[in-house]
Chains A and B, each alone.
Chain A
Amino acid sequence: MHWSELAIELTLMPLVAFIVGLFMVLMMRKIAARLQRRVGPPLLQPLYDIVKLFSKQTQTSHGLLHEIGIVMAVGGYVAAETLLPVPGMNGVAEKGGMITLLYLTMIPSLGMALGVGQCANPNGSIGISRALTAMLAYDIPFVIVIAGVAMHFGTTNLVDVVAQQQAGGIGSWGATQMPLLALAGLFALQGMLGKQPFEIYVAPAEIATGPMVEMGGKFLGGLFVMQCFQLYTAAVLYVTLFLGGGENWITFLGKSFAVLVIPMSIAFLFPRYRTEDMITMLWKWPVVLGLIGLVFVGS
């Protein structure tokens, strides 16, 4: 591949991810609104929110690390998007693979944790302790899923995983071949996105006592951008592992949005779990499902 083509791909991939992510945030709010019999926000509301947050007059920084934390949170995802193959663009996906992607997506969380830690607010620190505990809870079933998928397709290269599924049609999709792992993956997704019943570590309803307590203005704006990337990454990764990736942009986006409808619909029907109950829940059901799924992959 010519370097200019690669440069274009590396620029486009995060950009598309951000724009699609904005619409995913919009969809999430629309679903919430409909379930609560409201109209919901207009089309460009997520963008307006980001612009508003960035242009606030009061922007309180608690030090350099507070700022760098936001830079890492956004930058880590910008980098991660180039490892996630989309129709027509592979970026540097073949230089890493799914394990690398899994670990790369921990960088934004680390950045956020550093930023919150610098703020010296005990509520922020408690929030991070919960967020990291939650990560330990949802990543274990998710890693079982990754192991099963990698073994099934005989590779950790996401480009190959997509190619194999597209060559074989729906019958060869991860979800058809490994339904139990796909189900376990959905559970993990719910935790990964921090949606109800697992949203206590984000504490969106009690912002003054959650991890976001010291985040105002563009600090919160940066985390909003991060959320767009996060929704996109989780959905696209799931589509890549289980739903055959994207043959073209229409089916690709269709699948990605459809995947997110499930956790979002569940989210607004459920109350919340405490972090430790989240551990019990995620270490029990998806792990058992995933392990049974692994047995099928292995045999």
Chain B
Amino acid sequence: MGNANPAGLGPASPLGGIRPIGQAGDMLMLASLDALMLVALAGIPLSALLAGHRLGRWLLVTLYVAQLGLLVTLAPDTTAHSSRLAFSLLGNPIGWQLDALGWYFALVTIGAAGFAAAFAAGEWGEVNGRQGLSLRWLYGGLQINVLAMLLLLSAADFVSLFIGWELTSWAGLILMLLGGGEAIRAGRRYIVYAIAGGMAVFAGLVLTYAAVGSLQFAALQAAAPSLGTGQLWAIVLLFVLGFAVKTGNMPFHLWQAPAYAYSPGPASAFLGSISARMGLFAIALVAFKLIGAVQLDRLVIVPDWVNLRDLLAWAAVFTAILPTFVAMRQNDARLLLGWHGVGQGGYMLLGLVMADSLGSAGGLLHVFNYATYQAILLMAVFAVIHRTGTADLNRLGGLVARMPLSFLAMLIGIIGLAGLPPMNGFVSKWMIYRSLIIEGMPLLFVATVVSTLGTVLSVYKLLHNTFLGQLRLEHEHVREAPWSMTLPMLLLCVVVFVTGVAPGLVLEYVAIVQQTIGLPAVAYTLGGIESPAGTLDMLWISGVLFAGFGIGALLFYLMGGRSKRVHQLDNYAGGHFLTADVRYQYSDNFYAGLMHRIRPWYRDSFAWAESALVSALGAVSTLARGFFEQTNPAHWAMVGTTVVMTWMMWHALV
């Protein structure tokens, strides 16, 4: 290790477009991508068939293992693997191929789906199925999402990209609507945003076709340097805004948290950990791989001071900060995590738009890291819901002794989310911090740390209000979640820990992705980053940390008197002996002092703007309906025609 360029890799192909097929190796690979798609497709009817039975659900889990295996045989390098699936539209060849960028996101997608499927396979599916949840739709929807995402991730031209984009958007809705009640309102809001984003993407596509005359990726890649600034502005803005709706970047952040949070457990874990990242994938693809960082820097807002990348960086950093503090106010654990999901997306975009080797690697690595710990956290919350029936942070507490494994999973998850060593979230955030400092952007650095500190506060509240503090009497006999639910969580904990201690395992692929999208590859080691301006070696950091814990444990357990453990309900508060039925858990408005100070800063201006827009659209549609419902529309048609004809005659005469 210690090599920036993993063995055997040449420089990134400048065009990276469709490669000629013909070599024997390529034929094998070609078959693999098709096989992967076919298995994913077959998974949909199989889900409908098998999801009703426990054994069937475990078989569906093995189907995800098979998909993961097929994906691994496509091991990424800087070439792309094509699919036989292809057709022609208006003379444009439409096809699919998977490059390293798509592979990396596909890995997280299939992994997340597999873990979600396993989480629901045992008792969770049994119980929720009895309570009326359609497991066929749940498993089918999960597989449809995976297939749609695979189609998006292996898009080889703008048409296949748009097809994948729309399929992904609508597939997400299937999982969201399953929750019923709140979820339906959230889903409706989501789809309005998604359609608006999709229209922006479509407009970008049309504009690209008009400017370049082709819908092939390679055509835009070749033409980007010669595009006029105005054209480039329009194309980039339309695509990036359209994609940013999906990532939930500010100002498009309102839909995401409730839409993901109110889905059924496994669906929520899947959507929360990967779904929004499709937007980041598309931004990396179009803005960086096709158009390129050099071309982006032509888009200057204030000469020599602010360009588009700066603007995006600031939008990203506000996305990292504000939703974090919104998360802190939530009393529903699912919403709290949902809002953090929005905020963490900000880190990824921030890292990516840095477009240097360290920052962009941090942003891309964060996609993987975030997906692993967010899945754990959502699963832990749904495990608690499974046992206690609530995610209300004011109605829980003290479950640590009842559900120790779920507690452990959530603890590792929050250390990852808060970005503290030795979990993987720290590494990706560290790379972004370092990049911001070295690139001379201290304000952005400080802003990201503000977000991280806010996250520490918020996740402690989540952990405290769920597992620490007073145990409620009605939860005295709560049992640990069944192994079918704890095992996926704990396996993911191993991933979070191992990729935190040895981030080189993932950075190897991140470096290839960077080369694929034309960014400088990061200089990584197994333990982290090798750099003259400051190294990070997590093997050592974790080593001394655990040695420190060891010394702390020796001091505590070997020295001094023996401690005597009292029962969890044996408490007194401030000298008052309390019985267990008196509720004194400190949970509501947990950071009262902080909120007292920063509450005036919350003005809900985004929610206000959204409702203003909705009202304005409502007014327009009322007017339009009024027009069509006129008893005599012909009258208006005549007036209109007369006006147009008068205008035309006027022009003809003058």
Contacts and interface: CB of A to CB of B under 8 A. Distances in A.
B137 interface: no
Contacts of A148: 442
A286 interface: no
Contacts of A139: 449, 453
Contact of B552 (A74, A100, A132, A140): A74
Given A54-B560, A83-B544, A275-B594, 12 more contacts: A14-B551, A78-B551, A99-B434, A104-B421, A113-B464, A122-B584, A125-B468, A133-B591, A136-B453, A140-B449, A147-B445, A225-B555
Given A54-B560, A276-B593, A10 B464 contact: no
B564 A147 contact: no
A118 B469 CA distance: 6
Which among A129, A155, A209, A294 has the highest number of chain B CB atoms within 10 Å? A129
A209 to B, nearest CB: 5
Interface string A40-82: 0000000000000111111111110101001111111111101
A110 interface: yes
Given A132-B456, A133-B594, A218-B561, A73 B421 contact: no
Contacts of A10: 544, 547
B597 A113 contact: no
Interface residues of A, number: 88
A147 B446 contact: yes
Contacts of A140: 446, 449-450, 453
Given A96-B541, A99-B430, A298 B420 contact: no
Contacts of B566: 60-62
Contacts of B537: 92, 95-96
Contact of B549 (A71, A129, A222): A71
B551 A54 contact: no
Interface in A253-282: 274-276, 279-280
A123 B568 contact: no
A135 interface: yes
Given A103-B419, A117-B468, A218-B560, A135 B437 contact: no
A25 interface: no
Contacts of B314: none
Interface in A156-215: 156-157, 160, 208-209, 213
Contact of B596 (A97, A110, A113, A276): A276
A231 interface: no
Contacts of B95: none
Contacts of B585: 120, 122, 125
A99 B420 contact: no
A143 B449 contact: yes
A237 interface: no
A275 B593 contact: yes
B420 A107 contact: yes
B545 interface: yes
B597 A280 contact: yes
B437 A125 contact: no
Contacts of B541: 79, 83, 92, 95-96, 100, 104
Contacts of B628: none
A71 B552 contact: yes
Interface in A120-152: 120-123, 125-126, 128-130, 132-133, 135-136, 139-140, 143-144, 147-148, 150-151
26 contacts: A54-B560, A60-B564, A60-B566, A61-B563, A61-B564, A71-B553, A74-B551, A75-B545, A76-B552, A78-B552, A79-B541, A82-B548, A95-B527, A107-B421, A110-B456, A117-B469, A122-B586, A125-B464, A133-B594, A136-B453, A139-B453, A140-B450, A147-B442, A218-B563, A276-B593, A298-B440
A120 B555 contact: no
A12 interface: no
A154 interface: yes
Given A56-B561, A143-B446, A126 B549 contact: no
B559 interface: yes
A95 B536 contact: yes
Contacts of B635: none
Contacts of B468: 65, 114, 117-118, 120, 125
B400 interface: yes
Contacts of A156: 434, 437, 533-534
B450 A150 contact: no
A298 B442 contact: yes
Interface string B122-142: 000000000000000000000
B603 interface: no
B651 interface: no
A82 B551 CA distance: 13
B414 to A, nearest CB: 9
A244 interface: no
Contacts of A94: 535
Given A63-B400, A95-B536, A150 B437 contact: yes
Given A100-B430, A139-B449, A156-B533, A54 B559 contact: yes
Contacts of A71: 549, 552-553, 556
A106 interface: yes
Given A10-B544, A73-B552, A276-B597, A217 B534 contact: no
- Interface bin, chain B: 35 or more
B592 interface: yes
A253 B489 CA distance: 47
Contact of B457 (A67, A80, A132, A275): A132
Contacts of A119: 571
Given A122-B584, A125-B586, A132-B456, A59 B535 contact: no
Contacts of A219: 563
Contact of A72 (B527, B547, B549, B593): B549
Interface string B419-440: 1110000100010011001101
Nearest to A226: B552
Given A92-B541, A95-B535, A117-B469, A55 B551 contact: no
B552 A72 contact: yes
Contacts of B587: 125
A143 B434 CA distance: 13
A57 B398 CA distance: 27
B445 A143 contact: yes
Contacts of A104: 420-421, 541, 545
A59 B540 CA distance: 35
A221 interface: yes
Top 8 nearest A-B pairs by Cβ distance?
A75-B552, A117-B468, A54-B560, A79-B548, A156-B534, A78-B548, A75-B549, A59-B563
Interface string B578-612: 00000011110011111011000000000000000
B463 interface: yes
A18 to B, nearest CB: 10
B428 to A, nearest CB: 13
A216 B434 CA distance: 41
Given A133-B457, A136-B457, A99 B563 contact: no
In this complex, the member of B398, B446, B547 whose beta carbon has the largest number of chain A beta carbons within 10 angstroms is B446
Contacts of B559: 54, 218
Nearest to A283: B597
B157 to A, nearest CB: 42
A56 B566 CA distance: 17
Contacts of B389: none
B562 interface: yes
Contacts of B540: 92, 95-96
B573 A59 contact: no
Nearest to A290: B446
A100 B536 contact: yes
A200 to B, nearest CB: 9
B442 A117 contact: no
A119 B573 CA distance: 10
Nearest to A143: B449
B589 to A, nearest CB: 9
A157 B533 contact: yes
Nearest to B537: A95
B477 interface: no
Contact of B575 (A82, A95, A126, A208): A208
